[in-house]
Amino acid sequence: MTVTGRNKPKRNYKSEYANYHAKPAQKKNRAGRNAARAAVKKTGTNVAGKDVAHKNGNPRDNRRGNLTTQRPSQNRSFARTRTAGKRNRTA
């Protein structure tokens, strides 16, 4: 394992992809997030520098009422675990 600054282990992106991102469910989720961004962009909303957030947390639910734009710091403010909750409950 290679160590970079402050004794952090270097990330193995190939391993991450093989163990997580390559799974069929994650591919569908990623496709859903990409489709959501395209749908919001198509409505004329400026998405530059913003995240398209799913209000109910389901990346495959791309109904217009479920999509909103947020600052990345807001949208990524909590861990995506079963028990985690958003800091900003309005989105």
> What pLDDT score does 88 carry?
56
Q: Going residue by residue through the chain, which has 91 residues, state the pLDDT in tens, using 9 for 90 and above.
A: 566 667 888 999 999 999 999 999 999 999 999 999 999 999 999 999 999 999 888 899 999 999 999 999 988 887 777 666 656 555 5
List CB contacts of 21: < 8 A, sequence separation 6 or more. 27, 30
**Distance between CA atoms of 15 and 38, rounded to whole angstroms?**
29
User: What CA–CA distance (Å, rounded) separates 74 from 39?
Assistant: 21
What pLDDT, on a 0 to 100 scale, did the predictor assign at position 5?
A: 64
CA count, 13 A, side-chain hemisphere, 84: 10
Nearest residue to 42 (alpha-carbon basis) of 59, 61, 64: 64
